[in-house]
Amino acid sequence: MLRDRKKTASGLLMLCAWVVFLIAVLGMICKKEPFYTWFYSFAWWAYILFVESFLSFRGHRSLLFTNPARFLLLLPLSVMIWLIFEVFNFRLQNWHYLNLPPQRGPRWIGYTIAYATVLPAIFSTVNLLDIQGVVRQVRAVPFRIDFLKKWSVRLGIATLVLPVLFPKVFFPLVWLGFIFCFDPYNYKYGAGSILRDLEKGAIRTLSLLLIGGLICGMLWEFWNFWAGSKWSYTIPYLGFLKIFEMPILGFLGFPFFAVECYVMTNTFFLFVQRLHQEENRKKEWNAWVLMPVVAVVFSVVSYIGIDAFTVASLQTVKH
C-alpha cells in the first residue's frame, strides 16, 4: 500500500514538473514574467523534481522520496558551497550577472533559489546515470595513493592560493582545490572517498560524477542562455569559441566541479555524523544552533559582495 502511494505521488510530481517546465518555456519565449527573468530556476527545479520522481516511480532510490530530510539539507548546503566559489570570483572575475532585478529582496531570493539547485542537480543526474547502467563495467588498476595521502592537502591549498595570487594564469585550479583538500579526510574517517575508490581500482563513481558534471554543465549553460537574468563570462586567454555563453574549453571545468561538490558534501555529512557521535549533547546542540547563524551571516556578506563585484547590470525599471 505504501509503495503504491509513493508511486502515485511520484507520478503526479513527474506530471507537475513537466507542466511547470512547459509553462516556463512558453513564458520565456513570450518574455512573460516571472518565467523570463527566472527561467533558469524554473527549468532546473522542474528537472530536479522530474528526475527524483522518475527514479521513485521506477522503484529506484530517490533521495527526495527515501530521505527527504537529507534532500532538504542539501539545499542550504548547496547555497553555501556555491557561495564559496562566488567569493573566489570576487578576485577571479570570471563571470558576471546581467539584467538582474533592481530590488535587493527579489534579487537575493533569486540567488538563493538558483544556488540551491547545484547539489540536487548533480546528484539527481548521477543517480539517473547510475540506474541506466552507464559505465557499469568500468574498472581500473588499483592506484597507489601513498603520495596523494601525504601531499594532497598541501597540493589543495596551493591550488586554491595560486588563483587568488595570480588569477589570470591559475584561475582553472579553483575547480580542483577542494578535492585535494577534503578528500584525504573523507578517506581517513570512512566517508565516501575518491582516494579510497582509486586505491581499490573502483572508478565508476568518479566516472559517473565526471559525466554527470558535464551533462549538468551543458544544461546550466543552455538554460542560462535563454533566461532574462543570466551570467556571462570573462575568461583570460581561453575565452574563444563560445557555446551559449561559455567558451568551449570552459566546459572542461564542469566534470571536476561535480567531483568537488561530491567531496565537499561528503565532508559535511562526515562532520554531521561525527558530531552526532559526540557524547556531549550540549556541544552537538550548540553546533546545530551555530551552523545556521554562520550560514546566514556568510550568505548576507556574500550577497553584498556579489552585488558589488559580480552584478554587471540591473533591469530597467518600467514606469
- Within a domain: 250: yes
The C-alpha atoms of residue 252 and residue 245 are separated, in whole angstroms, by 14
Nearest to 24 by CA among 12, 37, 41, 42: 42
Residue 76 predicted with pLDDT over 70 = yes
- Would 175 be classed as within a structural domain? yes
* Contact criterion met (CB below 8 Å) for 71 and 63: yes
In a domain, 314, yes or no: no
* pLDDT surpasses 80 at 214: yes
Return d(Cα 20, Cα 35) in angstroms, integer.
10
316 within some domain:
no
Answer yes or no: is pLDDT of 283 > 90. Answer: no
C-alpha cell at 38: 527566472
Q: Is 202 helix (H, G, I), strand (E, B) or coil?
A: coil
* Separation CA 315–CA 319 (nearest Å): 12
When pLDDT is cut at 50, 70 and 90, the band that residue 149 belongs to is confident
Distance CA 22, CA 37 (A): 15
Q: How many distinct structural domains can be found in the chain?
A: 1
**CA–CA distances in Å: residue 253 to residues 128, 137, 217, 295:** 21, 25, 9, 26
User: How confident is the model at residue 137, as a pLDDT?
Assistant: 85
Q: pTM to 2 decimals?
A: 0.95
Chain-wide mean pLDDT for the chain?
94
Separation CA 44–CA 35 (nearest Å)? 12
Which three-class secondary structure state does DSSP give residue 231? strand
End-to-end alpha carbon distance in the chain: 56
In the predicted model, is pLDDT for residue 319 greater than 60? no
- 191 located within any domain: yes
Q: Dihedral sign for Cα 281, 283, 287, 289, please.
A: positive
In a domain, 319, yes or no: no
With respect to residue 318, please indicate whether it lies within any of the assigned structural domains: no
Q: What is the DSSP string of 142-161?
A: PPP-HHHHHHHHHHHHHHHH
Q: 284 exposed, middle or buried (CB, 10 Å; 0-12, 13-18, 19+)? A: middle
- Whether 317 maps to a domain, the answer reads no
Query: What is the extent of the structural domain holding 163?
Result: 2-309
Condensed to tens digits (0 to 9), the pLDDT of residues 9-62 reads: 999 999 999 999 999 999 999 999 999 999 999 999 999 999 999 999 998 989
